[in-house]
């Protein structure tokens, strides 16, 4: 599905929320699990659904770990899974940032996470002086029993890159190829300029081995930062749609969401640079419908904050406002200092640690869509889900 394959005579159906609820209710949780953050969803061939998140007393604390829940239909009841993950890596204390999962083959799951070095627990995640982050590693493990238990951690190598973090759902194509999306930054004490990039680690043997990083997006002059990439596969093996929270560093502002369509089979890097869409907001989780429509579940931290489901029937060229669906409206109670323009970069990073909603995920489920995100108050953030369907007669 390339951008030149648009069709002006196609249409987008009206959407509606059929049902909604909670995957995890933080309001009644212990203080150690008060904040659920960084949402993931995966459906298994058995019909089981798994959700994952970062769990802790606050955002990015030194003790944060991974929590998982299971549902037999992705709707209604979710049950916590008992496994407790070891947060140390090679004897060094750490914390986790994500829990992205994929069914590599029927019955065998892989879970990918970002491990953060917490050997100096009082250090914050971000250093406002150097603009670097704490040392990280990309780790993964496997499960043979639908997430009840997990094996030992293994490291996903990222030669030449530092400050790496897993970003968004793991891709799997019909030929069995798997790809883990991640971004690179720089480490805490590094005085060099920031040069962020978006990458894939690709496995063509079911997760037994991975390639060196494959470049998805990186602005050649570092004028734009392509953050929090969210990729989804198309029906053609190796092909994907990618969306980015795009920050213009030179202009000190967030732009509209950017999008890229490319294939890992076209060469050592993605073909072309991401292009700006008409969608305002930051993180944008995307999916492709059976009829080729692209859907994007987007966080917009304006006033009020929203999570909105957008659609495009012409390969991402247009996103009609009349068929967008506002899934969540949020009253942000955190002490936020930065707006859309004239952004102070260090203060902006501080805001990221305060926002009390976001990180949406969208998964196709038969003829409808399952969405999930985190939302709450600054001290209690829960995981929400919603089932979205096409309106009858639309």
Helix (H) or strand (E) run with residue 375 in it: strand 368-377
The parts of the chain modelled with pLDDT lower than 70 are 1-10, 392-394
Q: What is the DSSP letter of 322?
A: G
Tell me the percentage of the chain whose pLDDT exceeds 90.
86
Q: For position 8, what pLDDT does the model report?
A: 40
Nearest-angstrom CA–CA distance, 140 and 66: 12
pLDDT at res. 366: 85
Domain that holds residue 263: 3-390
Instruction: Give the per-residue pLDDT at 353.
Output: 85
Question: What is the pLDDT, as a whole number, of residue 1?
Answer: 40
Q: How far apart are CA 187 and CA 80, in angstroms?
A: 34
DSSP string of 12-40, one letter each residue: ---EEEEEEEEEE-GGGS-GGG-EEEEEE
Cα–Cα distance measured from residue 212 to residue 164, given in angstroms and rounded to the nearest whole number: 13
Task: Determine the pLDDT at residue 343.
Answer: 85
Going by their DSSP bridges, the two strands 65-71 and 79-80 should be labelled as antiparallel
Nearest to 293 by CA among 323, 317, 313, 318: 313
3-state secondary structure of 261: strand
- pLDDT the model gives residue 10: 66
DSSP 8-state assignment for residue 302: S
Question: Are the C-beta atoms of residues 20 and 385 closer than 8 Å to each other?
Answer: yes
Nearest CA to 133 among 86, 91, 88, 194? 194
* Measured CA distances, 4 to 107, 167, 270, 272 (Å): 38, 27, 16, 13
47-to-73, 176, 184, 206 alpha-carbon distances in Å: 6, 19, 34, 20
Cα–Cα distances in Å, from 213 out to 97, 161, 227? 20, 9, 16
Using CA atoms of 294, 5, 367, 324 in order, give the dihedral in degrees to the nearest 10.
Answer: 40
Tell me the per-residue pLDDT of 194-235, one tens digit each, with 9 for 90 and over: 899 999 999 999 999 999 999 999 999 999 999 999 999 999
Total domain count, the chain: 1
Place of tokens 């902006």: 348
State the pLDDT at residue 337: 81
pLDDT at position 335 is 80
CATH number of the domain bearing residue 139: 2.120.10.10
CA distances for 161 relative to 139, 155, 212, angstroms: 15, 14, 10
Please tell me the pTM assigned to this model. Answer: 0.95
């Amino acid at each position: 599905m390339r951008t030149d394959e648009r069709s002006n005579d196609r249409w987008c159906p009206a959407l509606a929320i059929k049902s909604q609820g909670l995957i995890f209710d933080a309001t009644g949780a212990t203080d150690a699990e008060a904040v659920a953050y960084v949402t993931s969803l995966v459906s298994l061939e058995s019909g089981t659904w798994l959700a994952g998140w970062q769990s802790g007393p606050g955002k990015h604390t030194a003790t944060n770990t991974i929590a998982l829940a299971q549902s037999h239909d992705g709707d209604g009841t979710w049950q916590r899974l008992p496994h407790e993950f070891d947060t140390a890596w090679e004897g060094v204390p750490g914390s986790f940032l994500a829990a992205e999962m994929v069914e590599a083959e029927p019955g065998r799951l892989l879970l990918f996470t970002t491990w953060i070095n917490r050997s100096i627990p009082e250090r914050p995640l971000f250093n406002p002086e150097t603009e670097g982050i704490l040392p990280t590693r990309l780790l993964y493990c496997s499960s043979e029993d639908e997430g009840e238990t997990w094996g030992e951690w293994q490291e996903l190598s990222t030669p030449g890159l530092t400050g790496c973090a897993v970003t968004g759902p793991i891709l799997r194509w019909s030929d069995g190829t798997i790809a883990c999306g991640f971004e690179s930054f720089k480490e805490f004490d590094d005085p060099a300029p920031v040069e962020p990039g978006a990458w894939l680690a690709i496995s063509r043997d079911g997760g037994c081995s991975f390639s060196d990083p494959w470049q998805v997006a990186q602005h050649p002059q570092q004028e734009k930062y392509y953050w929090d990439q969210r990729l989804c596969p198309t029906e053609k093996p190796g092909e994907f749609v990618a969306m980015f929270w795009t920050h213009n560093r030179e202009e000190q502002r967030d732009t509209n969401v950017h999008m890229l369509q490319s294939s890992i089979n076209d060469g050592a890097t993605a073909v072309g640079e991401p292009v700006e869409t008409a969608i305002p907001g930051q993180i944008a989780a995307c999916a492709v419908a059976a009829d080729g429509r692209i859907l994007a579940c987007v966080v917009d931290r304006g006033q009020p904050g929203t999570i909105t489901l957008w659609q495009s029937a012409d390969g991402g060229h247009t996103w009609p406002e009349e068929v967008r669906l506002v899934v969540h409206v949020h009253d942000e109670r955190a002490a936020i200092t930065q707006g859309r323009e004239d952004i102070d970069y260090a203060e902006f990073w501080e805001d990221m640690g305060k926002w009390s909603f976001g990180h949406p995920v969208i998964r196709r489920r038969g003829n409808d869509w399952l969405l999930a995100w985190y939302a709450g108050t600054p001290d209690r953030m829960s995981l929400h889900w919603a089932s979205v369907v096409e309106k009858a007669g639309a």
